[in-house]
């Protein structure tokens, strides 16, 4: 073991601890709209109505996503209550699982040092951390995919039968998180590996067929729920149609339909989308990732074919996403363990060469560019405690530079973690708390006490997923004036609406008390005019929370 590896072994647990700690503050922040708050609300209804079969979102039957993430959140609500922490915690646990299996996969395909570097990279990669704050399906999906691949490595090596069971469970949970398409990500690398090594016998190896059968058994709960909710009720209107099969949507339209843009949910694809998305989503390691890809293609002399189980999976998934017509930035998170492993391998291979010092210099430049960007944003926004935040940012930046490093590899990791500390302290302790106050639905829901659960709550022309989630009971989603009239007549009640409609109701003689007038802005679509403290007031809108009692 070289001196650099011995040094890595010493500081690895401390950096890993720091990386995990940097992810924690986001667990206590409010859930962001739209997707996170929508998913949290779907899980909320499971618990409130004790209905674990039928999913409801937007006031109607929900077919867009499978059940597994909602089940996990609902189970956690039972333990910690229906709140943001309860929604995010199980996803955070699965992220920890993905760290563990990333380590095991890198260790068994490369070595322990590569595994340590890979885990440190993955722990603070930007969109990985954001996925733990703005929780969707990705933390669950990433953990299940990398875990299934590692257990499949045990199957390939002829180890204990428990690897077959574990791989099937993880693969099944992945399918019940995102759909049948994830089997391409899980199995694609294996198929490429067998083809390039001409292991044709693997295609008829009984172990893999047992794995497939067990995986299908594991997804039976999902198939049962879809059949009960949709296939048994052809009269239900879903995506504007009747006679919608939940099973057909699960096996075809939800994945292949999106890929070929023939399903009910469509989009517009851009071949370069995930290329430029990766450059910012994998910060602060993006340059290292690009160099790692070039190194693997041109210079890697230790080309062990078995590593294609991750190379192939990464390539197939990335190409599949790029060709798809439905693209969102957070999709890329599921290949972050692969990105981290190949970047970690590149850093390890170069750790004894002076050329790695150039990457340490790049990390230093990135550190100060990030610091300058944050200071500029603080000046533009003038968020609360901006001066304190600026002092902390400068302290972290200069502290990262003056920490003594024993090798270029250590410099890269320390400065990368300095960038991560600076960014996530800024985001989770200062910036997101500032933004979330403009999520008016959450602000309005705070006014409705838990003791008021018997009083009906409704929203009209000011729909907010966060209002629906954080309100103590169910929220009536009023879409027509007739529904609004019927709801108001069933008073007393709470109504969340726009100022124009609220003023109109009050001027018409309705006896209503304005409980709150929160400011509203779509905080996931930030524009300069909103960020600028001088023009922000021109971009926010007022909402009303009314208490109506005739």
CA separation for the pair 46, 499 (Å, rounded): 32
Pairing type for strands 56-57 and 60-61 reads antiparallel
Confidence of residue 267 (pLDDT cuts 50, 70, 90): low
| Structural contact between residues 460 and 504, judged by C-beta atoms closer than 8 angstroms | no
pLDDT tens-digit readout, 104-156: 999 999 999 999 999 999 999 999 999 999 999 999 999 999 999 999 999 99
Report the distance separating Cα 494 and Cα 447, nearest Å: 10
Mean pLDDT score, 183-198: 94
Antiparallel, parallel or unpaired: β 457-460 and 512-516: unpaired
The percent of residues in the chain predicted with pLDDT above 70, rounded, is 96
Strand positions, DSSP E, 55-153: 56-57, 60-61
Judged by DSSP in three states, 56 sits in: strand
Q: Which residues, listed in sequence order, are joined to residue 478 by a DSSP beta bridge?
A: 460
3-class DSSP state of 48: helix
pLDDT band for 165, please (50, 70, 90 cuts): very high
Dihedral angle of Cα 273, 278, 281, 283, to the nearest 10 degrees:
-150
**Residue 416, C-beta contacts closer than 8 angstroms, at least 6 positions apart:** 121, 124, 284, 285, 363
Q: How does pLDDT run across 514-532, given as a tens digit for each residue? A: 999 999 999 988 899 999 9
Nearest alpha-carbon partner for 513 in 501, 525, 502: 502
Name the residue with tokens 């062990």: 304
CB atoms within 10 A of CB 41: 25
Q: At what angle do helices 336-349 and 112-124 cross, to 10 degrees?
A: 130
Confidence of residue 452 (pLDDT cuts 50, 70, 90): confident
| Rounded CA separation 317/332 (Å) | 9
Tens digits of residue pLDDT in 207-255: 999 999 999 999 999 999 999 999 899 888 888 788 888 888 888 877 7
**pTM to 2 decimal places:** 0.92
Average confidence (pLDDT) over 390-406? 87
Q: Measured between alpha carbons, how far is 189 from 316 in angstroms, rounded to an integer?
A: 8
Mean pLDDT along residues 245-266: 70
User: Residue 500 — φ and ψ, nearest 5°?
Assistant: -60, -45
DSSP of 485-541: HHHHHS-SEEEEEEHHHHHHHHHTT--EEEEE--EE--TTS--HHHHSTTTGGGT-E
Beta bridge partners of 513: 547
**Radius of gyration of the chain from its Cα atoms, rounded to whole angstroms:** 25
From 464, 433, 434, select the one nearest 448 (Cα to Cα).
464
> How far are the Cα atoms of 211, 323, 374 from residue 275, in angstroms, in the given order?
34, 12, 24
Q: Domain boundaries in the chain?
A: 31-349, 356-426, 440-548
Rounded to whole angstroms, how far apart are CA atoms 222 and 50? 17
CA 481 to the chain's CA centroid: 37
The larger pLDDT score, comparing residue 402 to residue 541, is at: 541
Q: What is the dihedral of CA 294, 295, 296, 301, to 10 degrees?
A: 150
Q: What is the pLDDT of residue 181?
A: 87
Evaluate whether 464 touches 495 at the Cβ level (below 8 Å).
no
**pLDDT tens digits, residue range 59-96?**
888 988 899 999 999 999 999 999 999 999 999 999 99
pLDDT computed for residue 94 by the predictor: 97
Per-residue pLDDT tens digits for 310-338: 999 999 988 888 887 667 777 889 999 99
Question: Residue 400: what pLDDT?
Answer: 84
What band does 184 get if pLDDT is binned at 50, 70 and 90?
very high
Question: What is the model's pLDDT at position 7?
Answer: 81
Q: Which CATH number fits domain 440-548: 3.40.190, 1.10.575, 1.20.1260, 3.40.462?
A: 3.40.190
């Amino acid at each position: 073991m070289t001196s650099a590896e011995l040094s890595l072994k010493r500081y690895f647990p401390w950096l890993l601890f720091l990386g995990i700690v940097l992810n924690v503050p986001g667990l206590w922040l409010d859930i962001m709209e739209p997707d996170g708050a929508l998913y949290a609300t779907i899980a909320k209804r499971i618990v409130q109505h004790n209905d674990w079969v039928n999913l409801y979102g937007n006031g109607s039957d929900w077919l867009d996503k499978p059940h597994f993430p909602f089940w996990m959140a609902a189970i956690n609500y039972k333990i910690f209550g229906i709140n943001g922490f309860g929604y995010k915690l199980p996803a955070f646990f699965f992220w920890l699982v993905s760290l563990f299996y990333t380590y095991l996969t890198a260790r068994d395909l490369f070595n322990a040092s590569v595994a340590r570097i890979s885990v440190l990279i993955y722990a603070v990669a930007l969109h990985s951390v954001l996925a733990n704050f703005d929780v969707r399906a990705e933390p669950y999906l990433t953990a299940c995919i990398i875990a299934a691949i590692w257990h499949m490595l045990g199957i390939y090596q002829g180890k204990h039968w428990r690897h077959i069971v574990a791989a099937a469970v993880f693969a099944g949970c992945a399918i019940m998180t995102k759909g049948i398409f994830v089997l391409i990500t899980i199995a694609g690398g294996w198929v490429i590996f067998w083809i390039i090594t001409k292991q044709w016998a693997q295609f008829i190896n009984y172990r893999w067929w047992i794995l497939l059968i067990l995986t299908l058994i594991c997804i039976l709960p999902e198939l049962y729920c879809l059949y009960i909710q949709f296939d048994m009720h052809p009269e239900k209107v879903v995506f504007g149609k009747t006679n919608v099969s939940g099973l057909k949507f699960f096996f075809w339209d939800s994945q292949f339909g999106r890929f070929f843009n023939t399903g009910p949910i469509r989009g517009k694809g851009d071949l370069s989308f995930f290329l430029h998305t990766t450059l910012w989503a994998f910060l602060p390691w993006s340059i290292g990732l690009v160099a790692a890809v070039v190194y693997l293609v041109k210079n890697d002399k230790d080309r062990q074919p078995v590593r294609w189980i991750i190379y192939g999976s990464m390539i197939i998934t990335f190409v599949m996403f790029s060709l798809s017509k439905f693209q969102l930035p957070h999709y890329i998170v599921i290949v972050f363990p692969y990105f981290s492993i190949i970047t970690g391998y590149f850093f390890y291979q170069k750790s004894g060469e002076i050329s790695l010092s150039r990457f340490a210099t790049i990390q230093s430049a990135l550190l100060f560019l990030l610091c300058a960007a944050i200071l500029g944003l603080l000046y533009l926004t003038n968020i609360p405690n901006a001066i304190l935040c600026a002092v902390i940012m400068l302290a972290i930046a200069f502290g990262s530079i003056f920490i003594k490093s024993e090798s270029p590899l250590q410099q890269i990791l320390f400065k990368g973690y300095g960038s991560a500390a600076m960014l996530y302290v800024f985001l989770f302790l200062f910036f997101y708390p500032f933004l979330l106050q403009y999520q008016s639905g959450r602000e309005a829901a705070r006014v409705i006490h838990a003791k008021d659960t018997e009083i009906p709550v409704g929203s009209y022309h000011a729909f907010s997923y966060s209002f629906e989630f954080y309100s103590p009971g169910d929220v009536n989603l009023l879409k027509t004036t007739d529904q609004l009239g019927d709801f108001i007549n069933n008073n007393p009640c709470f109504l969340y609406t726009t100022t124009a409609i609220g003023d109109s109701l009050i001027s018409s003689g309705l006896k209503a008390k304005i409980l709150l007038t929160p400011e509203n802005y779509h905080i996931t679509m930030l524009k300069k005019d909103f960020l600028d403290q001088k023009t922000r007031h021109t971009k926010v809108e007022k909402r009303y929370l009314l208490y109506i009692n005739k």
